Amino acid sequence: MSVNIASILDCREVVSSADSIAASVNIPWKDIENGHRSFELPAREDSFSVVFEHSLCKEEIERRADFLLSRSWTVDRWIPDEGEEFESLQNKKNKEIDEVNFNILFRPNPFLMAAIDEIETSCGGGEIKAIDAGCGSGREMLYLTLRGWKVTGIDNRKMCCVRANKLCDIYGAKGSEALVKSVEDEQYFEGIASTADLLLILRFFPKESLQSLLSTLKPGGWLLLEWFRKGAEAFGHPKDPTRLLGEDDVSNLCATFKLQPK
């Protein structure tokens, strides 16, 4: 299945399929303002357009613009849901409707996006499984699920798992689940040994639990690990240099766990 990185936020409260537009994601404004779905918005460096109800008054539009700007999001266009520009977007949808299966606003982890085609090719078709350790709000879990993967998200924060599961429900992404688990739960990982084609460990480094996490990989499976390298402590978090990785550390990890770097 195809997943497109959209550039238009449709913040209308109710959007029918006939009234939707191409390359857009509908997130009602209240869910952005209350923070329930603001994590789905693009990275701060990526600008986007906003479609809104033409009935909104000027003051409300300015208030919403100030809200996004105050949180460092950049909106390049505000488009009312009537008029030539809106109709042009609708016409574009009719031409592209068969070309894209799913739209999302955010960009998944760039290393995952760069490697995804090679990983899927190496798996040779059929059901592909991943473990997303420290899945957070579930953005990578959603991305993989929309591509047809079956993903088990792991996070010790219940609210993150609730949010990740709800995110998949909103997009109709079936077959994946986020579980409230600790990466130190060795018994759980023993029970799912050699089941995953991909192990994702992004934005944290569970050094003491790495062995049990790696046991979940099938022979020839993939590990995608993203963490800070030595020297990052000079720029802020994390401050503890012993928790950072240098080139020798990566080489030692590969040797210890018999990993083949790509």
β-bridge pairing 3-5 and 150-155: unpaired
Say whether pLDDT at 95 is over 70: no
Residue 222 has pLDDT above 60, yes or no: yes
Question: pLDDT (tens digit, 9 = 90+) per residue, 141-186?
Answer: 999 999 999 999 999 999 999 999 999 999 999 999 999 999 889 8
Residue 26: φ, ψ to 5°: -90, 115
Length of the chain: 262
Q: Categorize the per-residue pLDDT at 132 as very low, low, confident or very high, splitting at 50, 70 and 90.
A: very high
- The distance from CA 238 to its chain's CA centroid, rounded to whole angstroms, is 22
Instruction: Answer whether residue 78 shows pLDDT above 60.
Output: yes
- Work out the average pLDDT over 240-255: 79
